[in-house]
Each structure stands twice: as structure tokens, then as C-alpha cells.
Structure 1
Amino acid sequence: MNARPGPGADAARVLERCHELDRYSAHPAHLERTHLTPQHARANEVVAGWMADAGLRTWVDAAGNVCGRREGREPGLPALLLGSHLDTVPDAGSYDGMLGVVMAIAVAQRLHDVELPFALELIGFSDEEGSRFGTALLGSQAVAGHWREDWWDLRDRDGVTLHQAFLDFGLDPRRVHEAARQPHELVGYLEAHIEQGPYLEARDEPLGYVTTIAGARRFRLSVVGEARHAGGTPYARRRDALVGAAEVITEIERMARASGDADEHDGCIATVGRIEVQPGAVNVIPGRADLSLDLRAATDEARDAMWVRMERRIQELCAARGLRFEAQERHRAPAAPCAPWLTDAVVAGIGSTGQPSPLGLWSRAGHDAMAMARITDIGMLFLRCHDGISHHPDEAVLPEDVEVGLDAFEAAVRATATSYAARALRSSPA
């Protein structure tokens, strides 16, 4: 049997490894590691080494995801998959994604000598954020078998296509479909992740569980007016697209805030994160404003109903100002409920650490689990993060939370094994 390190040693090693991954960045002053870059390749190499140290056979799949596997009580069994992502946003923190990958490795090490009724697999997804090519979840979408051929023409800010990036990384674009897994190959998918919100910290609790992952829709909204001279055009003759867009943005926030408490499943979250104005001169009335809209809710029904109401109201606002409104949907992802039996395992894992009645949260942020839900059951463990900060260098977690998170994650895998074995027994012929 492998000797278990002393109390806190596992957490210290996990945090040390997260900080080691910070070294593999495109910029010396801040963390940025994007899909199919040299920094991504180096992170894959290091993580594969850690997986091998934990007793797993390792490989990089046809989509650039780094993977590891240890067989169960007999070869060829379906696998319970643990993981998260290794890519980052620009100017990132140290834990979004990476913490989940490194925690999975630590749990695999803890279970090194434990016979499981399934294989144990780990994965570090290559692209969850979409920072390089503008389309998120490329790594997990490939594993889920939902690759789109039109993605090959996506370009990064330097004009490099996704197709060329695959070639530069040493991957064969013609073989990307080999990354796809089949439902019968998997028992389920468990992911540990920082909460990226303030709710656990507000309750002074280190851990929570995810009930569902938000269904998201993203739009390009355009408010079209008329560009004219700023000094020579009286207000009664103006069709100012930017003023109209400002009113639209304010109304979007008002409607979302009024939709219900966002802590609950009936609330919606709407964000305008970008606006572009044409022609963009200080002495010209703006003739066009293009803005983004990110709309999320715990259920697709709540999200879609909000969009219907929101679109109607925006049309009214624009018509009152003599403006034209256009909307183009750019992205749609269905909500991904966590499977009850895996949620029970996660809750049991948290309970084993002495935290009774853990908080269940719907994840406002997207995760690779959304893509994996297309082919297998999912469950997620949330860890408290300081002030809910994420996608920022100030991301922070407490070592004691990481240690209790490891205990809960390990216990969740053990509970999954017990539940899976019982389910298999019930379904077997008498």
C-alpha cells in the first residue's frame, strides 16, 4: 500500500501543481494558456507525467485533450471520468479548470490500490474557455461526438485557422472524430471546480454541489439609426443609435433583475459585455450600435421565455426612437441537469467531511460537464473561492478547503462505485 501523506500534504501538493501550471503562459506578466499553443502542449506533458505517477496509462487524444486510465477489477470496463480543463482566459487566475484536473489526479493517487467496479479515467480538456477561436468547449465537444466541420475555418486573432492549429500541434484534423466516446464506454463524469460565485462564502461553507448548469444563449444585437452631424442636427431630428442602445442595455438589466431571484431556478441573468459604435467619431451622431447579449437561466424554458419578452420590449423601445432593431443568435447551449444518482454521491462525499446539508447551486457559469451531459450522466462538486472572483488573477482558494474538497471528491468516487455496483446487481439477470 502507498503511504498517505500527512494532513494537508495533499492540498499543498495540489496548490503547488496549480502554481506550476502558471509557468506555461504566453505572457511572462500574466497567465494566458490557450488551445493548441506551445504552452498547452507543455501543460499536457506535465499533467500526463502527474497522471503516470498516479498509476494511469496516459495519452493525448485526437482533439488535444490529455487523458489517463487505470483499469477496474477487470480490463475493458466502462469508465468513471474525472476532469476539468487546462486552458485559460487572458489574464487568468490559477484555479479555474486547473484545480479540478489536479484534484482528480490526487484522488486517483489516493485510490491507487482500491479495486473499483469500473475503470477510472482522468481528462484535462484542451479548450473550455474558447479564448483563442471564439467557440467554447472544443475539447469536450469532441469527446461528446459533437464536432462541427465549419469549426475548421475559425481563425484566431493572428489569422491562424483551427485546421492549421491542429496541424501545428501535431494532430490530424481528419482523425478528430476518434476523440469521441460512446455512452456505453462511460459510467459518468464528475468534475470539481471553484464556484466562481459568492454563495458558498456567504454561507461560510467550503463545499457545495451543482444541481444544473445554466442553459445559455448569446446574441449580437444591432440598433440602427442615422449618422449625422453632432452640432447641426437638433434633438427632434436625431436617430441616435447609441442612446437607443444605452436604453436597451438598461432595460435588459431591469428585466433580468425583475425576473425572479437569481438564486432560484426561475431567475435569469443577462449581460451585455461588448458594444461597438459606428462611425465612432466624437462629432458624429452614432448611426449604428452593435452589442452582445449573454442570457442564462437554470432552465431552457425560463431562458427562452425571457428572450421572447426581452425582444418584444427592445423592439418597442427602438420603434419609439425611430430606430431599427436586429438580433442574430450566435450561440445556444442547453441546460445540463446533474444526474440524481451522481448528485447523491457528491452530497454523500461532502457529508463524509462533516458538512451537513450542503448547499445546492445552479451553476451560472458553463463547464465541460455541459458537453459531457450529451453522452453520460454528470455530477459536480463546487469549492468556495474568495469573494466569488474568477477569470482574474485574484482567484484564491483556502488550503483547508482544498483538503476537505479532496476528501469529499474521493468519498464521492467511492460512493459512486457503491451505487454503480448496486445498480449493476439490480439490472443483472436472476
Structure 2
Amino acid sequence: MEINGSRFADHINTLAEIGKIGETGVCRLAHSKEDRQAVDVVKGWMEEAGLETRIDCFGNLIGRLEGKDQDKPILMLGSHIDSQPYGGRFDGTAGALGGIEVVHTLKDQGIDPNRTIEVVCFSDEEGSRFNKGVFGVRGLIGQLEEGELKRKDKNGVTRLEALREFGVEPDVSQSPVYQPGDIEAFLELHIEQGPVLEADNKPVGIVSAISGPIWLTVTLEGFAGHAGSVPMNLRQDAFLGAATITKEFNELVRNEGTPNTVGTVGSIQNFPNSRNIISEKVEFTIDLRDIDIEARTNLEKKLYQIIEKTASELNLEYSVSEDTKSEPRYCADWIKDIMKQEDEKLGFQSPVLMSGPFHDALFMSYISDYGMIFVRCEKGISHNPLEYAEMDDLQKGVELLYHTAAKIAQS
């Protein structure tokens, strides 16, 4: 193995101490003090690898190694180091630190790349704090939306305030930073967050595509009343509406979705949230994903019908906001071919598989060819402190990333 496996493992384990919860969990919310502490530590590792570093106005940490030919489109590697509030040690982190290890190994091998390489730790991939993620990568490619900096977390802190506390001055006028043609390829390593590699008994997989997510926020408004005195047939119960929609949405996905369709209600806010008051207002999120865009569109239409029907039957007002909507994006064949060639030399026999979760790579695909490498994780668990990947598997993934990146960097 050409990468320095012990150095990579030490970086993984050291970063896991920042925002540590329990024995194995991590909480590093976007733009938080823990996030900034992690960025500063990783920035130091980038500089040790020979990268010139900067933190941009979106909170992205970017390291750059100049190539011999300045006219060539650059090679970009990366992922994220922010986490879910109840997250694990490897989600995002493995890819971000794997990208640094690739450059450090090039330095160790005395290789000066023909094309410039950048390693990026993207800001707020997870989206859990402000209910809209992949902020940093969307800033780089010009996909920020109106009001992004006004979005508030559950404590009423705006993204603008959080970024300033993080230590940068946000400037959406700087977006986009990269144009199509600036980047030859974007490569991202990530734990699978699914059970396929474990079922195949393979440490590493080559990704074929990322399914497209839809994120919706549904608001239902009824009328508050005394839980003991309002008859059941006269109630306008917003929470009952949310429960009904959740149940019917689940049944819709199970009965009419493809094998790759997944649907989730993940966050709910209830007002006035008292045990003896009928709920007046409920806001909840819906996450719908599929690799098949036609199948997803059909389910989306039927979901709206469920919402409208439920609100009508329960005499509720409703609104739906679309927070994210992305089409499935396919990995570049030429990058997959390089991965397969290098994988064969390494003897990993890695299978090809799709990604249900979205990643920074999905958005980079709008301006660049991209490729992804997955690493086996135990029982497919992620977004949970029980998330676990064997270090040997992670090192194999980074080794394949290194050989793929070196081939592209020298092309």
C-alpha cells in the first residue's frame, strides 16, 4: 500500500475527538464552534501535505497544490467534516481526510502533478442545522437560492450570523466560483451508508450514480382547543393530519416505489406542544429519493394528492415548500474505467453500485465529471454514533482513490 495508513488512521481518530458524544458519536454542526475547531485542525494537516490553504466566504476549507501545467483543468478531491447532531466518525470525514492523504502521498513519493489539485472540505453538507444542506458546494457552483443567509436554526440563529461567528464574512455575490471546464474531475470517497458491500463481503465499491432527492417542508394549520372538551368530529387537529400523511406516504413508497425508492419524515415541530391542547400548527419534513426520475415524479404527484386530501378531510390549511430538488446524476464512464483498471491492479474486485444518499459530488456533477468510491460500513449504519467502518477497509478505499487521482493528475 502506497498511502500512509497509520497517518490516515491517526487523522480520523484525532478528528473524532472534536465534538465527540458518548464513546463513538460526533456532533459537529455546520458553522459551530466545533466545526471551526475541526476546520482549523484539518487546515494544519493540509499544510503539512504541501497544500496552500484558505477558508472562503461560504465556510469551505480549500487546499491547493499547483500543477506543472497551469492551463489544465484542475483535479478536485473532497467531502465534508460537519456532522449530524447524532452522527458518527466517518460520514464525510473519511473522504475529506482521504483527499488530504492522496496529496500527502504524492508528496512522499516525490510526484509533482501535471495538473493542479485542490482538496475541499465543503461547508454544511449535512443540512441538519438550517434544514437545507450542501451549502458550501452550492456556493462554489452557483446554486444558492434567495434567502439562504436568512435561514434560521432551531435557536433562531441565522446562517449569516452563524458564518460570522464561524469567522468568515458571507458574500453570495462571489458565487459561482468555478465554471464548467475549470475542473477536469471531482473525486469523492465516502462510507457506503448502506448494506450492499457488507452483503457482498467487499471492502470497496465503485459508484455508478447518485439518486436524486426531493426535500419538502409541509405546514398544516388547524385550531387549538381543550383536549377534554372539543368533540372528535369538531376538531381541526394538525397533528392528526401530519400523522395521516406520514402513514399514507410510507404506504405509497412501499407499495408503488421501485426497489431504490426511499421516503422519510424526519423532523417535526408541533405547536403549542401541550398534552392537553389540540395541535394548532405542525411543520414536518419529507425526504423522497429514487434513481428513477420518472418513478420519483409519479410518487411526488401522488404525495401532493395525499396532502391535499388529508387537509381537506380534516379541515386544515396547508402549505408545502420545496427545499431541495435534484435529478439523479451519473458518474463519468471514463473515471469509472480508470477506477476499475486501478482496482484490478490492487486486487480488490470492487463491485459497481449506486448511491441512495446524496453527496457533495452530486452537485459538483453540474459543472464537472465526477466519480465516487464507497467503503463498506457495518450493517449500513450511518447518521448514528454506531456508524462503523474497519480501518483496513477505509485504507483500501483511500488507496484506490490515490491511484485514481494520480492517474488523472498526471494525464
Alignment partners' CA distance in 2, 1:220 and 1:152: 18
Which range is displaced more, 336-345 or 89-98?
336-345
Question: Larger radius of gyration, structure 1 or 2?
Answer: 1
Alignment partners' CA distance in 2, 1:174 and 1:322: 44
Partner residue in 1 for 2:51? 56
1:107 is aligned with what amino acid?
Answer: V
Q: Which runs of 4+ in 1 moved over 6 A?
A: 26-29
Alignment partners' CA distance in 2, 1:404 and 1:106: 12
Which range is displaced more, 37-46 or 26-35?
26-35
Cα 1:115–1:151 change in 2 (3 A) is same
Structure 2 residue corresponding to 1:326, chosen from 279, 293, 318: 318
Q: How many residues align?
A: 407
Partner residue in 1 for 2:348? 355
Deviation at 1:239, TM superposition (A): 5.3
Partner residue in 1 for 2:18? 24
Secondary structure (helix, strand or coil) at the match of 2:215 reads strand
Establish whether residue 340 from structure 1 lines up as the match of residue 337 from structure 2. Answer: no
CA deviation map 1:327-354 (0-9, x unaligned): 4123123122222222222333333322
Note the residue ranges of structure 2 that are not aligned, 5 or more in a row. none
2:19 is aligned with what amino acid?
Answer: S
Partner residue in 1 for 2:262? 269
Secondary structure (helix, strand or coil) at the match of 1:273 reads strand
Partner residue in 2 for 1:86? 81
Establish whether residue 154 from structure 1 lines up as the match of residue 151 from structure 2. Answer: yes
Secondary structure (helix, strand or coil) at the match of 2:371 reads strand
Kindly report which structure 2 residues correspond to 1:206-355, keeping only aligned pairs within 5 A, or say none: 206-223=203-220, 227-232=224-229, 235=232, 237=234, 240-263=237-260, 268-286=261-279, 288-317=281-310, 319=312, 321-324=313-316, 326-335=318-327, 336-355=329-348
Cα 1:109–1:35 change in 2 (3 A) is same
Partner residue in 2 for 1:368? 360
Note the residue ranges of structure 1 that are not aligned, 5 or more in a row. 422-430
Cα 1:241–1:51 change in 2 (3 A) is closer
Which range is displaced more, 131-140 or 176-185?
176-185
CA deviation map 1:90-135 (0-9, x unaligned): 1321111111011111111222333544222111112211233332
Secondary structure (helix, strand or coil) at the match of 1:24 reads coil
1:359 is aligned with what amino acid?
Answer: V
Structure 2 residue corresponding to 1:385, chosen from 373, 377, 381: 377
Structure 2 residue corresponding to 1:198, chosen from 189, 195, 198: 195
Partner residue in 2 for 1:11? 5
Cα 1:377–1:324 change in 2 (3 A) is same
Deviation at 1:55, TM superposition (A): 2.3
Q: Quick one: percent identity of the two aligned structures? A: 32
Alignment partners' CA distance in 2, 1:278 and 1:158: 16
RMSD across aligned C-alpha pairs, in angstroms?
A: 2.8
Cα 1:223–1:193 change in 2 (3 A) is same
Alignment partners' CA distance in 1, 2:155 and 2:243: 32
Alignment partners' CA distance in 1, 2:32 and 2:223: 43
Secondary structure (helix, strand or coil) at the match of 2:295 reads helix
Alignment partners' CA distance in 1, 2:112 and 2:202: 32
Secondary structure (helix, strand or coil) at the match of 1:171 reads coil
Assess if the C-alpha contact under 8 Å between 1:195 and 1:382 holds in 2: yes
Establish whether residue 394 from structure 1 lines up as the match of residue 386 from structure 2. Answer: yes
TM-score (norm 1): 0.84
